[in-house]
Amino acid sequence: MLFLAAFYRNNNCIALLYGFDIFTYFRTMQKTLLITGGAGFIGSHVVRLFVLQYPDYHIINLDSLTYAGNLENLKDIEDRPNYTFVKADITDEQAMYDLFGKYNFDGVIHLAAESHVDRSITDPNAFIETNVMGTANLLNAARTAWKNDFTNKRFYHVSTDEVYGSLGAEGFFLETTPYDPQSPYSASKAASDHLVRAYGNTYHLPFVISNCSNNYGPNQFPEKLIPLFFNNIKNNKPLPVYGDGKYTRDWLYVVDHAHAIDKVYHNGKNGETYNIGGFNEWQNIELIKLLCEKMDHKLGRTPGASAGLISYIKDRPGHDRRYAIDATKINKELGWAPSVTFEEGLSQTIDWYLKNEEWLDHVTSGNYQNYYQEQYTNN
Ligand code: NAD
Ligand code: DAU
C-alpha cells in the first residue's frame, strides 16, 4: 500500500509537471511493455535501456526476485515515471492471466529464467518449471489477453546459444543449426524456444527469438565464471577451473546485448531468429589468465600473484566443449555490432565490481555461502 502510494505520488508529480493527471499521463504513453526477469543480470540492463531510451513507453518489470534477482541493480531508474516493478512468479498461471488483464501490453520481452548450468545439474526441476512452464504461462496469458487479435503485438523470447549444443574445433552456430541441447538448462531453454515457435505456427502469435552467447559485465551474479573468479581473486581464494580449462566460449558485453535486444524488438521480422555474439572466442584458461593479469595491475599486486590461485578441479558433467556464434544475420539485417572490445569491456567490468563492493557483499552473504560450499567442496 505504501509502495502504491509512493508510486502514485511520484507519477502524479510528473503528471502535474505535464499539466494533467496520472491517467492522462499513462494514456499518452505509446506502448506498454512487459519485461520479465528485469531484476536479473541481463534483464536489468535491458530495463534501464528501455526506460531511459523510450520515455513514452511504460515499462513493467516482472520478477519473482529469486537469489539472482536484485532490485539494487535498478536503483538509478526505480523512480522514473515510466517504470513499474511487479513482484510475481511466471510459474503462477493465474498471476500471469491477472497481470495481462490489468495491463494492456503491446509487447513482451521475456528474459525470466533459471540461468546457471551448474544449478540445473543439481536441481533440473526448477529449470523445467520456470523455463518451460513459466514460458507456457506467459504465452497462454498473452494469447488470451490479445484475443487472437495480434495487430501491433509482439512476443520476444530471449534465449541462449546453448540450445545448439557443442561445437568441435571448427565452425559456428547459425540460426539454422539444429538444436542439440546437452544440459538440463539448455534443454529447458530449447523447450521454451520450441513452444514459442509452436504458438507462432499454431495461433499466429507474432514472435521473435534471439540466441545469445556468454554475457559478462556489471551486475552479474558471482556464480558465473567472470564475477566468481573476480571475487575469489579479490579474496585470495582458489580459482576453480573445470577440467582442462580448454573449453571455449564467445563473450559479449551485456550492454551490447541489451542494444541488440532493442534492435530485435523494434526491427526484427516476425517469426525470425537472430543469433547474437561477440565475435570473441576465448579458452577459459586464457580468459582467466587475462583476468588475473588485469586484477594484479588494478590491485597493485606482483605480476603473476593472482594466477597462482588457479586450481584445476573436477569437470562439470556433460560440459559443452565450444560455443561460437555467427552473428552475421543481425549485423547485416539490423545493423547491430558489439561496441566495445573485450579488453575494454573486461576492464570496465572489473572497475564496476571494485567500485561496488557493497553490491557484491550483499549478494555473497547468506545463501551464497551454502551454494559455494556445496558446489566447490570436495571437487
Ligand atoms: P539471471 O539469472 O541473472 O536473471 C534471471 C532473472 O529472472 C532474475 O531476476 C530472477 O529473479 C528472475 N526469475 C527467475 N525465475 C523466475 C520466475 N519463476 N518468475 C519470475 N522471475 C523469475 O539471468 P541472466 O543471465 O540475466 O539471463 C537472462 C536471460 O537471458 C535468460 O533467459 C537466459 O537464459 C538468457 N541468456 C543468458 C546469457 C548469459 O550469458 N547470462 C546468455 C544468453 C541468454
Ligand atoms: O552461452 C550462453 C550461456 O552462457 C547462458 O545461456 C547461461 O545462462 C550462462 O550461464 C552461460 O553458460 P556457461 O555455462 O557457459 O557459463 P559459466 O559462467 O557457468 O561458465 C563459463 C565457462 O567456465 C564454462 O566452460 C564452465 C567454466 N567454469 C565455470 C565456473 C562457474 C569453470 O571452469 N569454473 C567455474 O567455477
283-335 per-position pLDDT tens digit: 999 999 999 999 999 999 999 999 999 999 999 999 999 999 999 999 999 99
> Angle at which helices 284-299 and 342-355 pack, to 10 degrees?
50
Minimum CA distance residue for ligand 1 atom 28? 111
What is the Å distance from ligand 1's center to 290 Cα? 27
- Provide the pLDDT for residue 331: 98
For ligand 2, the distance from its centroid to the CA atom of residue 229, given in whole angstroms, is 12
Return the active site residues.
161-162, 185
Ligand 1 atom nearest to 215, measured from its CA: 40
Find the helix or strand (DSSP H, E) in which 290 lies. Answer: helix 284-299
Identify the CA nearest to 130 among candidates 97, 88, 99: 88
Q: What is the pLDDT of residue 19?
A: 47
Report domain extents, the chain: 5-217+251-282+320-345
Q: For ligand 2, what atom is nearest to the CA of residue 241?
A: 33
Which residues are near ligand 2 (CB < 6 Å)? 115-117, 160-162, 213-214, 224-225, 228, 240-242, 247, 249, 284, 316, 323
What pLDDT is attached to residue 148? 81
What per-residue confidence (pLDDT) applies to 3? 37
* Residue to mutate, 72, 115, 117, ligand 1, most ligand atoms under 8 Å from C-beta: 115
Instruction: Tell me which of 225, 231, 232, 280 to substitute to probe ligand 2's pocket, judged by most ligand atoms within 8 Å of the beta carbon.
Output: 225
pLDDT on residue 14: 42
Mean pLDDT, the chain, integer: 93
pLDDT at 84: 98
Among the bound ligands, the one closest to the CA of 110: 1
Beta strand 107-110 pairing with 31-36: parallel
Q: Name the residue of 42, 123, 276, 320 whose CB sits within 8 Å of the most ligand 1 atoms, as the mutation to test its pocket.
A: 42
Ligand 1 binding pocket, CB closer than 6 Å = 37, 39-43, 63-66, 68-69, 89-91, 111-115, 130, 134, 158, 160, 189, 212, 214-215, 221
Burial class of residue 5 (count of CB atoms within 10 Å of its CB; 0-12, 13-18, 19+):
exposed
Which pLDDT value is given to residue 26? 62
Q: Which atom number of ligand 2 is nearest to the Cα of residue 319?
A: 25
Quote the ligand 1 centre to 13 CA distance (angstroms): 33
Q: Give the atom of ligand 1 at the shortest distance from the alpha carbon of 112.
A: 7
Give the nearest ligand 1 atom to 219 CA.
Answer: 3
What's the Cα-to-Cα distance from 14 to each of 2, 25, 79, 254, rounded to whole Å? 18, 8, 11, 31
**Which CATH entry fits the domain spanning 5-217+251-282+320-345: 3.40.190.10, 3.40.50.720, 3.40.50.620, 2.10.10.90?**
3.40.50.720
Pick out the chain residues at pLDDT < 70: 1-28, 379
The closest ligand to the CA of 62 turns out to be 1
- In sequence order, what E strands does the chain have? 31-36, 57-63, 83-87, 107-110, 154-160, 207-212, 214-216, 239-242, 248-253, 273-276, 281-283, 310-313
Instruction: Give pLDDT, residue 366.
Output: 84
Residue 134 near residue 158 (C-beta atoms within 8 A): no
